Amino acid sequence: MYKICYNDKVIKLAHVDLDAHLPQTDKTHLIVHYPGKVKFILQYLDNIEKNKDLKYLYILSSDVKQLKKDFFSRFKIVKAAGGLVINKHGKVLFIFRRGHWDLPKGKMEDGETKKVSAQREVIEETGLSQVSITQKLISTYHIYRGQSSNKRILKPTYWYLMHAKGSKVRPQVEEDIELVEWKQLTAETIADLSPIYHNIKDVLSSYINLIK
């Protein structure tokens, strides 16, 4: 299964056998079976974008790999990388940007590896002097519209667990970051962080599951 966030909505590309476990189609959930023609993907996207009540779109197929290939072909792909950073006290580093709690991340530059990009973005956005990567966490996907073209863009983000050498931080105001804060993280505090994007919750949950 692949999960793609679109503003405050969620799209899932899933195998057709999962149908029995999915919610019934209603005002907030739409379940469709992908017929194998790419033109239908644009119709699905228009539907979830224009329908204010619709929050979840499940696109089902017996061939999820082909469905993913067809779905991704409808977008310009912009890759990003970021980090969930832990200090010596076990606290997680959050940023507050454009009205949401977030984790440091950013667009990969040409020629960069995922790990190098993730470390660079974390250091630039938080003011940390040095971070080390412990392991890969998860990859997330989200859709947004480009500022100049207004075309839909799909951004895969590659997330890494990192440890900070120090705790002194400074927000990168040029990137609209207002706050950088260390917070103790539990399953309960994830629910209390608001507003926060779906995909950031997924990154936090992956870390919670890792340390259990």
Q: Are residues 84 and 185 in the same domain?
A: yes
pLDDT band at 177 (very low <50, low <70, confident <90, very high): very high
CB atoms within 10 A of CB 46: 10
Residue 180: predicted pLDDT: 97
Give the pLDDT score at 77: 96
* Whether the model pTM is above 0.85: yes
CATH classification of the domain holding 148: 3.90.79.10
> Taking the alpha carbons of 200, 201, 204, 205 in that order, is the dihedral positive or negative?
negative
Residue ending a domain, choose from 19, 54, 72 = 72
Q: Which residue, 129, 190, 196, is CA-closest to 162?
A: 129
Same domain, 93 and 194: yes
Last residue of a domain, one of 48, 72, 96: 72
Q: Which of 16-25, 59-68, 202-211 comes out lowest in average pLDDT? A: 16-25
Q: Is the pLDDT score of 200 beyond 60?
A: yes
The whole-number pLDDT of residue 19 equals 53
CA angle (97 as vertex; 92, 100 as ends), nearest 5: 80
* Domain region containing 123: 76-211
Per-residue confidence at 196, pLDDT binned at 50, 70, 90?
very high
pLDDT, the chain, mean: 93
208 touches 186 (CB < 8 A): yes
Residues 147, 105: Cα–Cα separation, whole Å: 19
Judge if 99 and 40 occupy the same domain.
no
Q: Which residues pair with 143 in a beta bridge?
A: 6, 154
Residues 54-75 have a mean pLDDT of 95
Q: Do 126 and 65 belong to one domain?
A: no
The tokens for 206 are 């992956």
For residues 32 and 57, give the distance between their C-alpha atoms in angstroms, rounded to a whole number.
8
* pLDDT of 85 higher than 60: yes
- CA 123 to CA 104: how far, in whole Å? 9
Q: Yes or no: say if 183 and 33 are a contact pair by the CB < 8 Å rule.
A: no
Domain boundary among 72, 100, 127: 72
106 and 137 fall within a common domain: yes
For range 173-178, the mean pLDDT = 96
The 8-class DSSP code of residue 8 comes to T
Averaged over 68-76, what is the pLDDT? 96
In terms of domains, do 120 and 149 share one?
Answer: yes
* Across 7-17, average pLDDT: 89
Number of domains in the chain: 2
